[in-house]
C-alpha cells in the first residue's frame, strides 16, 4: 500500500509540474523549476537532531546543545548546496535517432554549466528508465545520451525528463521534471520472410533473391533454427565469427520492387513489418530496391539515405502528415 501510494503521489506531482510548462527545446533551471525535499536518510537525520536537542533541553547540557545545533546547521547548509547543484544548469535538446519498434532510441542532450560553477552527481532519466549520472567539473558543457524504448510505429516522444541530485550528503533531493521537444521515429518491427514473391523484379520476371536457390552465392545471414545444415558457413564459424548461413539464389535482378501487394494474406502492420525486413536485408546486400505503397512510390536506389527514406515511408504509412 505504501509503495502504491508513493507511486501515485509521484505521478500526481509530475503531472502537476508538467502542466505548468510547455515542452521546451532549451531551459535554464531557476528557483521556480527546482523542487527540494529531504530523503529518507535526511528525515532520520533531522529527527535524530531534534531528539538530541530535546535531550539537551531536558538535561540542560551545553555539549548536547552544541551537537544538536551543529547537526541542524549541517542540514541547513546541505539545503543550499543541494539546490545550487542544479541552479543555473542549462539543458538543450539536440537530437533523436530512429530505431525499430521495441528497441532503444537514442536521445542526445547538451548540459551547459552556469558561470563559474561545478556540478556533481547529476542524474538524468526518462520516466521509468535507468538514470545516467554525469558531472560538470571544469567543463562548461557536456553531451549526454539517454535511451528509451519505442512503443509503437511512427513518431513518438520519450515523455518527461527527470533531472535530480542528492549531492553533497544525500540528506536532500533536488529535482525537476521537464518536457523536451525531442521526438524519435520508430520503424516497424521486422517480420522475417524466406524469399521475395514472384513479381518483385524490375521487369516482373519472377522470384528474385530466393534464399532457397542453389546457383549464385548471395552472402551470409544470421543462422536461424530450421535452416539447412548444408548452408552453415563453417569457415566463418571456425574463425570465431559466429554462426552464419550461406544464401544462394537462382536469379537476381539489379533492381527490386518491394510492393504492398506482394503479401496479400498479411494485415497492414504485418505487411509493413515484412517490407521493413526486406528493406534492411537488401540494404545490407547493397542492392537497388524501390518501394510501392498505396499512394506512395519510391524509385529504386541504394545507400544509407535511400534506406532511411524507405523506412520513414513505412514508419509513417497511414499516420497522416508528420
Range of lowest pLDDT (79-88, 92-101, 140-149, 244-253): 244-253
Q: Is pLDDT at 12 greater than 90 in this prediction?
A: no
Q: Are 26 and 142 in a shared domain?
A: yes
Residue 98 clears pLDDT 90, i.e. is over it: yes
204, part of any domain: no
**Residue 4: what pLDDT?**
67
Nearest to 187 by CA among 125, 128, 124, 273: 273
Mean pLDDT of the chain: 83
pLDDT digits (tens, 9 = 90+) for 33-55: 899 989 999 999 999 999 998 98
Same domain, 40 and 164: yes
Query: Is residue 183 located within the same domain as residue 257?
Result: no
Give the global pTM. Answer: 0.73
Q: Would residue 227 count as lying in a domain?
A: no
pLDDT at residue 149 is higher than 50? yes
Rounded distance, CA 215 to CA 246, Å? 12
Instruction: Determine which of 89-98, 109-118, 223-232 has the lowest per-residue pLDDT on average.
Output: 223-232
Highest mean pLDDT among 6-15, 153-162, 234-243: 153-162
42 located within any domain: yes
More confident residue, 207 or 140: 140
Indicate if 288 and 139 belong to the same structural domain. no
Residue 182's DSSP bridge partners are: none
The answer to whether residue 210 is domain-embedded is no
Is 82 domain-assigned?
yes
pLDDT in tens, 179-233: 888 999 999 999 988 677 655 555 444 444 444 445 556 667 776 666 667 777 7
With a cut of 80, say whether residue 260 has pLDDT above it.
yes
pLDDT of the residue at 5: 64
The stretch 99-120 carries a mean pLDDT of: 90
Burial group, residue 282, by CB count within 10 angstroms (0-12, 13-18, 19+): buried
Comparing 213 with 22, the larger pLDDT belongs to 22
Is 138 contained in some domain? yes
* Residues 136 and 264 both lie in one domain: no
DSSP secondary structure of 73-110? HHHHHHHHHHHHTTTT-EEEEEEE--EETTSEEEEEEE
Domain count of the fold of the chain: 2
User: Are residue 39 and residue 168 in the same domain, yes or no?
Assistant: yes
pLDDT at 225: 66
Does residue 261 share a domain with residue 171? no
State the pLDDT at residue 276: 94
β-strands 104-112, 141-149 pairing: antiparallel
Domain boundary, last residue among 166, 187, 208: 187
Q: Are residues 37 and 135 in the same domain?
A: yes
Final residue of a structural domain among 138, 154, 187: 187
Given 187, 207, 241, the domain boundary residue is 187
| C-alpha to C-alpha distance for 10 and 7, rounded to whole angstroms | 5
- Residue 90 covered by a domain: yes
Q: Which residue has the higher pLDDT, 12 or 295?
A: 295
Same domain, 174 and 266: no
pLDDT at 205: 44
In a domain, 143, yes or no: yes
8 A C-beta contact, residue 164 and residue 249: no
Boundaries of domain holding 269: 251-316
Model pLDDT, residue 229? 72
Same domain, 176 and 264: no
Amino acid at each position: 500500500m505504501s509503495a502504491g501510494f508513493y507511486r501515485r503521489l509521484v505521478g500526481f506531482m509530475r503531472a502537476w509540474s508538467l502542466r505548468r510548462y510547455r515542452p521546451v527545446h532549451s531551459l535554464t533551471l531557476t528557483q521556480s523549476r527546482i523542487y527540494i525535499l529531504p530523503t529518507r536518510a535526511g528525515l532520520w537525520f533531522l529527527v535524530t537532531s531534534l531528539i538530541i536537542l530535546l535531550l539537551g533541553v531536558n538535561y540542560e547540557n551545553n555539549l548536547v546543545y552544541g551537537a544538536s545545533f551543529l547537526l541542524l546547521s549541517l542540514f541547513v547548509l546541505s539545503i543550499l548546496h543541494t539546490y545550487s547543484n542544479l541552479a543555473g544548469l542549462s539543458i538543450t535538446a539536440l537530437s533523436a535517432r530512429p530505431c525499430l519498434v521495441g528497441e532503444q532510441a537514442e536521445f542526445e542532450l547538451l548540459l551547459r554549466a552556469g558561470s563559474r560553477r561545478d556540478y556533481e552527481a547529476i542524474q538524468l532519466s526518462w520516466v521509468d528508465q535507468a538514470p545516467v549520472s554525469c558531472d560538470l567539473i571544469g567543463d562548461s558543457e557536456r553531451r549526454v545520451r539517454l535511451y528509451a524504448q519505442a512503443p509503437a510505429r511512427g513518431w513518438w516522444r520519450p515523455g518527461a525528463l527527470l533531472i535530480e541530485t542528492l549531492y553533497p550528503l544525500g540528506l536532500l533531493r533536488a529535482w525537476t521534471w521537464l518536457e523536451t521537444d525531442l521526438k524519435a521515429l520508430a520503424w516497424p518491427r521486422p517480420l522475417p520472410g524466406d524469399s521475395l514473391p514472384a513479381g518483385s523484379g524490375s521487369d516482373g520476371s519472377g522470384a528474385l533473391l530466393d534464399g532457397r536457390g542453389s546457383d549464385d552465392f548471395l552472402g551470409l545471414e544470421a543462422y536461424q533454427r530450421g535452416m539447412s545444415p548444408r548452408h552453415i558457413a563453417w569457415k566463418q564459424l571456425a574463425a570465431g565469427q559466429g554462426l552464419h548461413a550461406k544464401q544462394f539464389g537462382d536469379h537476381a535482378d539489379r533492381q527490386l520492387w518491394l510492393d504492398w501487394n506482394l503479401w496479400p494474406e498479411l494485415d497492414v502492420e504485418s505487411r509493413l513489418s515484412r517490407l521493413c525486413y526486406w528493406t534492411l536485408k537488401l540494404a545490407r546486400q547493397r542492392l537497388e530496391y524501390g518501394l510501392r505503397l498505396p499512394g506512395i512510390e519510391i524509385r529504386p536506389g541504394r545507400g544509407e539515405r535511400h534506406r532511411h527514406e524507405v523506412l520513414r515511408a513505412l514508419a509513417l504509412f497511414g499516420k497522416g502528415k508528420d
